[in-house]
Amino acid sequence: MDTHDEHCDLCDLPRSQCIHGRPPPVPKVAAPAPRKRTPARKRPSSTPARPVVRRWTPPEAFRPLILSVLEEAGGELDAEELFLELEIVAEDLLRPGDLETTPEGELRWRYAARRARIALLAEGLMTKTTPGVWKLAGPGRA
């Protein structure tokens, strides 16, 4: 080997001892420790919470009305007849947004009444027998 290749041109040291002839060592970087999740804290707000203002009537409001309409009709009504009766009974309860239509084209109050029916079915207060007929549960109902 040539003597020129064995020594550094910048510091005249052998390349094995020279910092110019060796690449700098790669710094060891430890992987960051995973962050611990802390439960979200509620921050006190300087402004009071605003009351929720609904544009339409929630399904829960229709539940007792549906039950009373069905009881007056003998426990069973065709869906369209029930909606006609329910509209009369709930006239004072309906809000302006209830007369809007859902994306599917159904009036919002009718959609809310259908959702109320699903809850009544789940509670066992109504039964599903014939399609298009809303019926109260049998004599063992609450």
The CATH code of the domain that includes 78 is: 1.10.10
Q: Tell me whether residue 77 is in a domain.
A: yes
pLDDT in tens, 4-37: 557 777 777 777 777 666 666 677 777 778 788 7
Q: Tell me whether residue 25 is in a domain.
A: no
Q: Tell me whether residue 36 is in a domain.
A: no
Q: Tell me whether residue 19 is in a domain.
A: no
Of 119, 61, 60, nearest in space to 93 by CA:
61
pLDDT at 119: 96
pLDDT in tens, 87-117: 999 998 899 899 999 999 999 999 999 999 9
Q: Which residue has the higher pLDDT, 140 or 66?
A: 66
Q: Tell me whether residue 119 is in a domain.
A: yes
Q: How many CB atoms lie within 10 A of CB 120?
A: 22
What's the total number of domains in the chain?
1
Q: Tell me whether residue 10 is in a domain.
A: no
The range of the structural domain enclosing residue 126 comes to: 59-136
